[in-house]
Structure 1
Amino acid sequence: MKRSGPLVTLLAGLLLGLFMLSLNATTGEKTSSSYQGESPAAKSSPTPTAVTPSPSRSPSPSATPIPDADYAGRTSDDSAAVAVTLNDGKAIAYFCDGRAKESWLKGDVEDDGTMRLTGRHGAKLNGTLKEGKRISGTVDIDGGRYAFTADKAKKPSGLYRATATVRGAKVDGGWIVLPDGRQVGVLTRDGESSPAPRIDPETGAVTVDGQQLTARPVTP
C-alpha cells in the first residue's frame, strides 16, 4: 500500500498533463479558424471621396451694339451747335458757332455709350449716349468748355460737309441742320472762316462764290 501512493500520484500528474495539452491544442485551432474565416468585407476600407462637379459657366451675353444714328443740338448757353454721327462703333462730331469757331472731332464709342472724341489744336468732346435718344456732354475748344445736349435727328436733320476748290481757293464747309430746321455752319476759304451759306437739306445743294457744290451727310 505504501508503494501504490507515489504511483497513483504519478498517474494523476500524467493525466493532468495530457488534459492540458489537449486543451491548448483545441484553443489554438479555434483561434486560427476564427482569424482565417474573417470576411474580407469586415476589413475597413477607405471611404470614397465624393467629387462635386464644378458648375459650368454660362456664356456671358454679348454687348448690344450701338445703333447708327445722327444727333444734333445746341450748347447750354445757346452760343453754338453740336452734331454727332455714329456709325459702326465710330463717331464724328462737329462743333460750330455759325461765325468763325468750329472743330471736327472723331473717335470710338464704347459699349456703354460713352465717347471721348478728339480734334485739332487739343479740342475734345466727352459725351454719353443715353437710351439711344440723346447725347449729353461737353466740348473743350480754344480754352473754353461748352456743355451740350444733342437729340436724335431724322433726315434731313444732321451733319453735312462739302469740300472743293472754288476760283483757286480751297473751300471746306460744315453744316448742322437742327431738328427744328435751323442751320448753323462755317465756311473756310484758304484758312479764313466765315458764316456758311444755307444749303438745301433735301439735296445738299449750296452755292459758294457763284459755284454750286453739294454738301453730303457725314459718316465716320
Structure 2
Amino acid sequence: MKRPGPLFTLLAGLLLGLFLLSLNATTGARNPSSANQREAPAPAAAETGLSPSPTPSPSASPSPSRTPVPDASYAGRTDDDTAAVAVTVRDGRAIAYFCDGHDKESWLKGDVQDDGTLRLTGGHGARLDGTLAENRRIRGTVDIDGGHYAFTADRARKPSGLYRATATVRGARVDGGWIVLPDGRQVGVLTRDGAPGAAPAIDPETGAVTVDGQQLTAGPAIP
C-alpha cells in the first residue's frame, strides 16, 4: 500500500487553514476600542439636580443714622412783633408757648423729628409748624384763633426760656406762662379761672412771682 503523497499533505494543510480562518471570524470580532469612544460630556447642573452657586450680591450700605435733636430751649418774637414764642425740647419731645402778653395764649406739645421738624398742637385747633436750623434757631409759624404768625426763636440760655406756674390763689385757679427773651424782656399771660390777663413779672433767677399777694414759684416748662 502506498503512503499518502504530497496531494494528501496539501489537502490537509488546506483544511487546517480553512478551520483556522473560520475560528478567527467567530471569535475575532473586535469590541469598540476606548480610543474610538467619544468622551461623554459632563452632565449639566440641571441634570444633576444641583443648583449653581448664586453670585453674591453686594450688601446694601446701611443708611447713616441721624443724630437726635439735642435738649435745649428757644425763645423769640413773631415777625410782626405782636407776640412771643418759646419752645423747650427734651428727649425728642417739645412744649411751646405762644402769648401776646395780654389775653391771647396757647400751650402746644408734640414730637420733634430727627431732621429738626416740629408739628405741635394745642387747644382749640392751635398749631405750630417749625424747623430747627442747625440746632441754633427755630423758624416756623403758629396758627391760633384764626391768626397766622411767622416767628423766629433763637437758642435761649438761662435765665432766658419758658416758665410756668399753676396754683390756687384766694380760691381761684391760676395758670401763668412766661417767656423770658434773650434780651431780658418778659412776655406772659396769667389766667384766673379761665379769664386771661397780663402776667406779673417773675424773677428769672429764682422763678419767684407774686400773684394777688401770694408768692408762687414759676419753674421751667418741660415736655
Band the TM-score falls in, shorter-chain normalisation: 0.7 to 0.9
Aligned letter for 2:222? T
**Structure 2 gap segments, 5+ residues each:** 1-13, 46-51
More helix by share: 1
**Aligned-partner residue type, residue 40 of structure 2:** K
Misfit runs of 4+, over 6 Å: 18-21
The amino acid of 2:93's aligned partner reads: K
- Cα deviation for residue 51 of structure 1 reads 2.9
Map 1:18-167 onto structure 2 (within 5 A).
28-29=29-30, 31=32, 34-35=33-34, 38=37, 42-46=39-43, 49-167=52-170
Aligned 1:187-202 pairs, distance under 5 A? 187-202=190-205
Amino acid at match of 1:142: D
Amino acid at match of 1:44: P
1:209 aligns with 2:209: no
Tell me how far 1:21 sits from its aligned partner: 8.9
Task: Look up the equivalent residue of 1:131 and give its one-letter code.
Answer: E
Q: Deviations over 1:143-201 (max 9, x none)?
A: 01000111111011000001111111111110000011111001111111111111111
In structure 1, runs of 5+ residues without a counterpart are 1-10
Q: Distance in 1 between matches of 2:58 and 2:43?
A: 27
- Root-mean-square deviation (CA, aligned residues, Å) is 2.8
After TM superposition, give the deviation of residue 50 of structure 1 in Å.
4.8
